[in-house]
Amino acid sequence: MGDVRRVLITGAGGFVGSYLVAYLAEAYPGWQVTGTIRHAAERASGFVPCDLRDAGAVLSLIERTAPEMVIHLAGQSNVPASLKDPETTLANNILGTLHLLDGCRAHAPNARLLIISSSEVYGPTPPETQPLCEERPLRPVNPYAVSKAAQEMLALQYAHSYALDVVVARPFNHIGPGQTDRFVVSAFARQVVEVERGERRAVSVGNLDAARDFTDVRDVVRAYPLLLEKGEPGGIYNIGRGTAVTIGDLLDLLRRLAHRPIAIERDPARLRPSDVPVMIADTTRLRQATGWQPEIPLVQSLDAIVSWWRVALTPGPFPRREGE
């Protein structure tokens, strides 16, 4: 697929999308990227406003841009938000995908589509089944996971019924500087910095026993163009580090990066009604197809996130680390 150049990225203004656009500009300078955002107010970003829930707008977008490759990132991606407002999550994620598929079927039938799903589709699985391979049955236990499973099924149904060229990626937890504090690592990092500044007395925590497979977003986005070029039609690929760390151990790593001792306090409000104890990615299929490997160590990612929050929260002079 070396001659493919026109690429459409939905959700290009989001956390992952912004890293992906920057990476493609650096590593794939010949690719002509069009990115979508949801609100016209963000037009200054250089992206194209398009609400994927509007079928007519999506049809028009696909007709105008005639993409040869599509990376579908747009949607509601936060599990707690999906529990609070499942209707919005389902509408955004499922209808948006349906309209994108219909647009490609009508105006870009030969385009290759990379549908970005989530490891959340696996749901709770026994420890002996870890790491999780792509053949594991899906057991989504929250509305976000349900929406992602539906996205996959829709896309693969369109591949079967209408011969669309679809590849599915299932990234496990990914983190990095600039991620909203609606996600656990960024939330902890922000609180650590606020404790450093004396703006709060402790980091508020929920379940610290859950174990997750965390990968730096800058590694994750490297996998997406590789899958566009080398993924099998109809293939599903996990993306992750292949190892897990508990939320408690991750918090301990963040506390070691702080400039002062960090206390913690339990907050029952941060517990989910249903949580998955452990998730580890089996990335054999991805590695064999593309040669991809994660390159950024977890501690390096955490240090970058804490440093980002120090800047974002209007930094002043910091106390030196204890013992320095």
Q: How high is the pLDDT of residue 320?
A: 39
Q: How high is the pLDDT of residue 116?
A: 98
The answer to whether the CB of 290 falls within 8 A of the CB of 227 is: yes
Q: List the chain domain ranges.
A: 6-175+214-239, 184-211+243-280+297-312
Topology classification of domain 184-211+243-280+297-312: UDP-galactose 4-epimerase; domain 1 (3.90.25)
Q: How high is the pLDDT of residue 323?
A: 34
Q: What is the pTM of this model?
A: 0.91
From the list 30, 25, 28, 45, the residue with the least C-alpha distance to 11 is: 45
Which residues, at least 6 apart from 134, have a Cβ–Cβ distance to it below 8 Å? 170, 236, 237, 238, 282, 285
Amino acid at 7: V
> Please, what's the largest Cα pairwise distance for the chain?
65
CA 95 to chain centre: 19
From the list 140, 127, 61, 150, the residue with the least C-alpha distance to 100 is: 61
Q: How high is the pLDDT of residue 275?
A: 63
The answer to whether the CB of 108 falls within 8 A of the CB of 59 is: no
Amino acid at 196: E
Does the domain formed by 6-175+214-239 have CATH 3.40.50.720? yes
Could you tell me the mean pLDDT of each successive run of 10 residues in the chain, 324 residues long? 77 95 95 87 71 97 97 94 95 97 98 97 91 96 97 98 98 96 94 95 90 97 98 98 95 95 82 70 98 97 97 62 33
